[in-house]
Amino acid sequence: MSPLKTSFPKDKMKIVLLENISQSAVDSFKKAGYTQIEQHTGALSGEQLDTVLKEAKVVCVRSKTQLTEEVITKAKKLVAIGCFCIGTNQVDLEAANKAGVCVFNAPFSNTRSVAELVIASAIMLIRKIPDKNRAAHAGEWDKDSTNAHEIRGKRLGVVGYGHIGSQVSILAEAMGLRVFYYDVENKLPLGNAEEISDLKSLIEHCDIITLHVPGTKQTQNLFDKQVLNWFQKGQLLVNMSRGDVVDISALKEALEEKRISGAAVDVFPEEPKNKDEKFSSPLQNISNVILTPHIGGSTEEAQWNIGLDVSSKLIKYIENGASLGSKSIPELSLPKIEDTHRILHIHKNVSGVLSEINSKISKLDVNILGQYLSTNLEVGYVVLDISKSDSLDTLKEFKRIDHTIKVRILY
Ligand SMILES: NC(=O)C1=CN([C@@H]2O[C@H](COP(=O)(O)OP(=O)(O)OC[C@H]3O[C@@H](n4cnc5c(N)ncnc54)[C@H](O)[C@@H]3O)[C@@H](O)[C@H]2O)C=CC1
Ligand SMILES: O=C(O)C(=O)COP(=O)(O)O
């Protein structure tokens, strides 16, 4: 009889953490028995990234590391990617799906941190603090109240009323702002917020505009020259979403022309990969502009919670196969493995694969105790719980099935 095939041993599973991911994630992996943990403080790219990922089963990134189709294709052993942040635009999700690599993110752990910074930035801008702060550091005493206002009673326009936008809305109302929002989806207004159905009207209607859309093809340059030309009343702009959502040179022009009287920008089309790289932006040294180094979600609270959230999803996927929350392969919520073998089969979503899997199973001396299937356009994910049997020499068998992308066996 052939020996039992089991899942890959934990102590041989290389987990790579880039971009200074929280210790809480490292602790979780270690507690779960993973010992091959490699940590890097910054983002990597090119050959360095390829080399680090060669043997990796799991890679953990934040917003900076670009996991392109080329990188994913080269990382042949990769089973899962953890985005320890909200955005997943740095990962080619389609390529990950096709490669059978499960991608998780942390959809809400840093939302409060961003929302707080948005409110803080709005107050700083409306009081002209960037200039007054600069002047005070230079020994000047600028106590003038001209054009400095309270935010109470002002109109806040939220573009993208998702997890962050809606939290900003709640905090803003508590500060006495009136909130309006524009979203491409139909969203439940929280508190007294009111929906405005087109972007132009929202911009024309509000004093402060804050952006909370994801980085997608559709949102790229959403605030282009034409949209920035709609700002006419010395309004304020906050961008904590993604750098390429706003045309930076058009924003610079609008700020210099004082059509936009202040901006807080946390995200940039080009951002340094680590501390040692120099940061430069056309927005540097413009009056009433706050520039922050992509720190909307950078609080100890947020990072700690993200570390726990994403590491637990990755561990569950490795050890149980559950892909709930996946941004790439189909989602499956699975019961615990109790005295069974679990076969995880990711394949191209073409006809005939399932019947071949079932035909393989029928030739084994086992009972099927559970069968789960989820598909998307490109990929099918089938999970089979079967009774334990010494004759289980299935890994090779299942790998031979046409259109197979990845197979794992858990026990
Ligand atoms: N600066 C930072 O450190 C951080 C930045 N972010 C960025 O904020 C983004 C938003 O985060 P969440 O609110 O959690 O995402 P979410 O997915 O909960 O909400 C995004 C909202 O934008 C809407 N939307 C999409 N396209 C749109 C368009 N063209 N016009 C108007 N609305 C549109 C969606 O329907 C959704 O309601 C993230 O994708 C990420 O890029 C997130 C966390 C930290
Ligand atoms: O959560 C997000 O999408 C962010 O932009 C935060 O990115 P970071 O983890 O700070 O690189």
Instruction: Please report the pLDDT score of residue 391 as a whole number.
Output: 52
- To which H or E segment does residue 83 belong? strand 80-83
- Check for a shared fold between 11-105+299-329 and 110-291: yes
Phi and psi angles of residue 230, each rounded to the nearest 5 degrees, phi first: -75, -20
Q: Which residues are tagged catalytic?
A: 242, 271, 294
Tokens describing residue 204: 């024309």
Beta bridge partners of 38: 16
Give the pairing type, strands 80-83 and 56-61.
parallel
Low-confidence ranges of the chain (pLDDT < 70): 1-7, 389-395
Of the listed ligands, the closest to the CA of 86 is: 2
Q: What residue segments make up the domains of the chain, in order of their start?
A: 11-105+299-329, 110-291, 331-410
Ligand 1: which residues within 6 Å by Cβ? 86-87, 110-111, 114, 159-165, 182-185, 187, 212-215, 218-219, 222, 240-242, 266-267, 294, 296-297
CATH 3.30.110.60 is the classification of domain 11-105+299-329: no
Whole-model pTM? 0.95
Pocket of ligand 2, candidates 63, 111, 216, 292: which has the most ligand atoms within 8 Å of its Cβ, to mutate? 63
Q: Which atom of ligand 1 is nearest to the CA of 212?
A: 10
The CB density around residue 186, as the number of other CB atoms within 10 Å, is 7
CATH of 110-291, one of 3.40.50.720, 3.20.20.70, 3.90.1150.10, 3.40.50.970: 3.40.50.720
- CATH architecture type of domain 331-410: 2-Layer Sandwich (3.30)
Q: Interface pTM (ipTM) of the complex?
A: 0.99
Instruction: Please report the pLDDT score of residue 367 as a whole number.
Output: 84
Per-residue pLDDT tens digits for 60-113 = 999 999 999 999 999 999 999 999 999 999 999 999 999 999 999 999 999 999
